[in-house]
Structure 1
Amino acid sequence: MIIIIQLIGGCTLIPWFGLAGLSFMSFDTPKATKKLIPWLFIFSVFSYPFIIGGSYWWAWSTFMSGNIKSAIFWSSLPIGLFVFAYLVIIRSPSLLRKSK
């Protein structure tokens, strides 16, 4: 079960590569490098692979100690973060139109 969940979570890195490449477009506006939001966005996008690696390491550590439910939770964490980020990205065009 844990291996299947981790394989599915590893597949979330495929769309991450595209998002990571396009994330630098947050600096397209003038004076964007002086604002905090684009930097936080870049940091959150590029920290995602480290979150995957850390949660999978923690999942296997808890699995080896015998706590299977906790291992399943840590294995599912990257998938949950991916779904949350996907929903935020889907909602962002409507949020940008409302702020104008």
Structure 2
Amino acid sequence: MCSRCKRLYPLGSRCEACASAGARRREQKRKHTRPSAWARGYDSSYAKGRAAILADRPLCSLCNARPATTADHVIPLSRGGTNDISNLRPACAPCNFSRGNRPA
């Protein structure tokens, strides 16, 4: 019996129609996932710049209240920015994530 549609099916846990429908759903979900950090441009140059920025300035440059845990891009990578240290500034996670991809 198919575990999804409850039709009688002699082999496996799902009939061919339900199995192919599940495969289509998984494929659609895979297509809409976010690319990896490496694919988005966060490579070793970003890691080095982030470490240098956080060591130099420990407070968030946006709110000046919380400790900086991330490096924010002044001009986002998606808008043509680079991982150069002159394009990075220290930011706490809430400030950095709320900015989105807007230029500073």
Asked if these proteins are the same fold (TM beyond 0.5), I'd say no
Structure with greater proportional helix content: 1
TM-score (norm 2): 0.26
Structure with greater proportional strand content: 2
TM-score (norm 1): 0.27
Larger Rg: 2
Compare relative contact order (CA 8 Å, sep 6+) and give the higher one, 1 or 2: 1
